[in-house]
A and B are shown apart, each in its own frame.
Chain A
């Protein structure tokens, strides 16, 4: 059996493969639903209703999509340059820590000054956290996959230490949580009385900015060149190491924004369960979008819908909500196969 390149398919056919991947994902999930003794059709219907069946459901899905857009963008940017950032989870928490440190009264500034300052420092913190593994990769040849993964555990312990020490809420009745951020450090809600906040708008703008960087700037071109073939890029005069550093800063910064927007827009404070794995799910979001920044928005909403819908479904149908995680992981694997088959075919001989 051989995998060989095939002529570029038409645009319609290119779309067909991802659709087939999603269909396959639903088919596999349906088998698990059957194993759980429920009917796939009613379960998928309940998921749909829970994710998009009402204004409340839809807003909830968009709220859940917000951090996923940021982590998805972070992964898309890094993977495009073949910088394997599996540490978006840690970078998210760094952004959240900065938000709490600066936003709980330490900087008594009006919102129009305070929020931009927090955003910049949070992005810097997340970026620097990824800069470490990037430097280790370029200077010492240490694989960044392992270092970014291990940093996730270190940073979570660091957050736990802060929440039981300097950042502990004195009013928190002993729970490991930080105090709430002040009103001037909060992102307003888009619709009064609903949970959707301006972090979502920030996420959309970020996607657009990342798209412009990737498609319209020299840096974006260099990042793609480094990702495509490092030796060739270096030979053509692309400063590979410096491009990887800039990629790391951008990627880590984007992931940190997820932490900022969750604290400042939604939760108000920092806890150890701020992120139920948004950093890891960002990898799926980015791959489903084929690393396209605009596609990240769509795939984040899709993935968020599955999670929100599965939560609602699980309450009424009794199928464990972990079905959503299974579905998202399956979608990742079917999608990489689908992307392969848009450009290659199997030849049996």
Chain B
């Protein structure tokens, strides 16, 4: 029964929401890119760059929100690179995405070594602190989980609402969705598909970078090599799992994070009888399983990965 009791503890849900936060940012980022028709495999590297950029800004004396902004800008710059190669030039989104991931990761590691040549253990910063919402944070279980988190977690939830509102309630959102479904219809309205797609990739990449920055500025307090550890790839699976809808993707991210928090606790409970690697494999295996379950009825944006040229049909 112990294994089920975990699900009722507040600390479990606090951890689940904390683990979900970076995934929510990055999943929304990827979702925006894909809704506009661009698969962004740069996500893993962009998250790494964001994690470093945000942390390093604070380490160098900037305040926390400046760090978030710098991370977002770094992400947008890699997004610009990705978009330039994939949108107007129409190069393979697979190859360019992997290339951007390799470049962003290696540039980050290079800069880290250059800035901190001597350190053996990475220096720490003062990260975001939990900000309880008066009244709401006193509700049992739900209060600590949802209303006693760091400001970046609240921002993550706000991002989902904003993404949904922009995509479904504004002309801009309509243009973004149409660019991913039927780009010639966008062009027929006198809107540039190229501009919409490039903008979407840059905005999405900025969100991915903020997701990375969450890890170094809210979940932990310093930067480690390989700290993204496949989270970017998991977010790509979450976008498919959420059938390209912000709300569903949010639920997917929270379910996934709850599972991740659960496996850590089961690991402690099992007392070393089952090798710990089995538990660590579960999140990745779960992502693959989720993809298999939804793949048959997944309705991809029709123009996803299809380059668009003005005047071509």
The answer to the question of A16 belonging to the interface, with a C-beta cut-off of 8 Å to chain B, is no
The answer to the question of B298 belonging to the interface, with a C-beta cut-off of 8 Å to chain A, is yes
How distant is the Cα of A150 from the Cα of B229 in the complex, in angstroms? 10
For B110, the chain A residues whose CB sits under 8 A away are 32, 320, 322-323, 325-326
For A336, the chain B residues whose CB sits under 8 A away are 85, 91-92, 95-96, 99
Which of A84, A160, A287, A320 has the most chain B CB atoms inside 10 A of its CB?
A: A320
Within 8 A of A (CB), among B166-180: none
- Quote the shortest CB–CB distance from B36 to chain A (angstroms): 18
How distant is the Cα of A143 from the Cα of B113 in the complex, in angstroms? 35
For B103, the chain A residues whose CB sits under 8 A away are 326, 329-330, 332-333
How distant is the Cα of A326 from the Cα of B108 in the complex, in angstroms? 9
Inter-chain contact A2/B309, CB cutoff 8 Å: yes
How distant is the Cα of A328 from the Cα of B310 in the complex, in angstroms? 33
Contact of A2 with B99 at beta-carbon distance under 8 Å, contacts A147-B291, A157-B281 already known: no
The answer to the question of A35 belonging to the interface, with a C-beta cut-off of 8 Å to chain B, is yes
Name the residue of chain B whose CB is nearest to the CB of A2. B309
Contact with A283, one of B98, B107, B113, B285 (Cβ below 8 angstroms): B98
Contact with B298, one of A141, A149, A161, A328 (Cβ below 8 angstroms): A141
Name the residue of chain B whose CB is nearest to the CB of A145. B94
B interface, over-half SS: helix
A-B contact count (CB 8 A): 132
Inter-chain contact B99/A340, CB cutoff 8 Å: no
The answer to the question of B135 belonging to the interface, with a C-beta cut-off of 8 Å to chain A, is no
Within 8 A of B (CB), among A1-57: 1-3, 32, 35-36
Q: Which 5 A-B pairs have the closest CB atoms?
A: A325-B106, A320-B113, A329-B102, A329-B103, A161-B277
Inter-chain contact A2/B284, CB cutoff 8 Å: no
The answer to the question of B131 belonging to the interface, with a C-beta cut-off of 8 Å to chain A, is no
- Quote the shortest CB–CB distance from B229 to chain A (angstroms): 7
Contact of A326 with B106 at beta-carbon distance under 8 Å, contacts A146-B233, A161-B275 already known: yes
Within 8 A of A (CB), among B250-280: 275, 277-278, 280
Where the two chains meet, the residues of A that have a C-beta atom closer than 8 Å to any C-beta of B are: 1-3, 32, 35-36, 84, 86, 136, 140-143, 145-147, 149-154, 157-158, 160-161, 164-165, 280, 283-284, 287, 318, 320, 322-323, 325-326, 328-330, 332-333, 336-337, 340
Contact of A154 with B285 at beta-carbon distance under 8 Å, contacts A2-B309, A326-B110 already known: yes
Inter-chain contact B284/A153, CB cutoff 8 Å: yes
Inter-chain contact A150/B298, CB cutoff 8 Å: no
Inter-chain contact A340/B91, CB cutoff 8 Å: yes
Contact of A157 with B88 at beta-carbon distance under 8 Å, contacts A145-B41, A287-B95, A322-B113 already known: no
Inter-chain contact A337/B89, CB cutoff 8 Å: yes
Complex interface: stretch among B49-57, B153-161, B234-242: B234-242
Inter-chain contact A337/B98, CB cutoff 8 Å: no
Inter-chain contact B295/A158, CB cutoff 8 Å: no
Q: Knowing that A149-B233, A329-B105 are A-B contacts, what are 13 other residue pairs whose CB atoms are under 8 Å apart, sorted by A's residue number? A: A3-B88, A136-B292, A145-B94, A145-B236, A146-B236, A150-B234, A150-B285, A151-B284, A154-B284, A325-B109, A329-B99, A329-B106, A336-B96
For A151, the chain B residues whose CB sits under 8 A away are 284, 288
Inter-chain contact B281/A333, CB cutoff 8 Å: no
How distant is the Cα of A328 from the Cα of B107 in the complex, in angstroms? 11
What are some 9 contacts across the A-B interface (CB < 8 A)?
A3-B89, A32-B110, A141-B295, A157-B281, A158-B277, A332-B99, A333-B81, A333-B100, A336-B85
The answer to the question of B296 belonging to the interface, with a C-beta cut-off of 8 Å to chain A, is yes
Contact of A147 with B288 at beta-carbon distance under 8 Å, contacts A157-B277, A157-B280, A160-B277 already known: yes
User: Size range of the interface on B?
Assistant: 35 or more
- Quote the shortest CB–CB distance from A80 to chain B (angstroms): 13
Inter-chain contact A86/B296, CB cutoff 8 Å: no
For A280, the chain B residues whose CB sits under 8 A away are 98, 102
Inter-chain contact B277/A150, CB cutoff 8 Å: no
Inter-chain contact B309/A3, CB cutoff 8 Å: yes
For B233, the chain A residues whose CB sits under 8 A away are 146, 149-150
How distant is the Cα of A110 from the Cα of B23 in the complex, in angstroms? 52
Inter-chain contact A1/B291, CB cutoff 8 Å: no
Name the residue of chain A whose CB is nearest to the CB of B103. A329
Contact of A150 with B288 at beta-carbon distance under 8 Å, contacts A322-B106, A332-B99, A336-B95 already known: yes
Which of A2, A152, A333 has the most chain B CB atoms inside 10 A of its CB?
A: A333
- Quote the shortest CB–CB distance from B277 to chain A (angstroms): 4
Inter-chain contact A140/B281, CB cutoff 8 Å: no
- Quote the shortest CB–CB distance from A146 to chain B (angstroms): 5
How distant is the Cα of A21 from the Cα of B102 in the complex, in angstroms? 17
Which of B90, B99, B240, B285 has the most chain A CB atoms inside 10 A of its CB?
A: B99
- Quote the shortest CB–CB distance from A168 to chain B (angstroms): 12
- Quote the shortest CB–CB distance from A348 to chain B (angstroms): 11
Inter-chain contact A284/B114, CB cutoff 8 Å: no
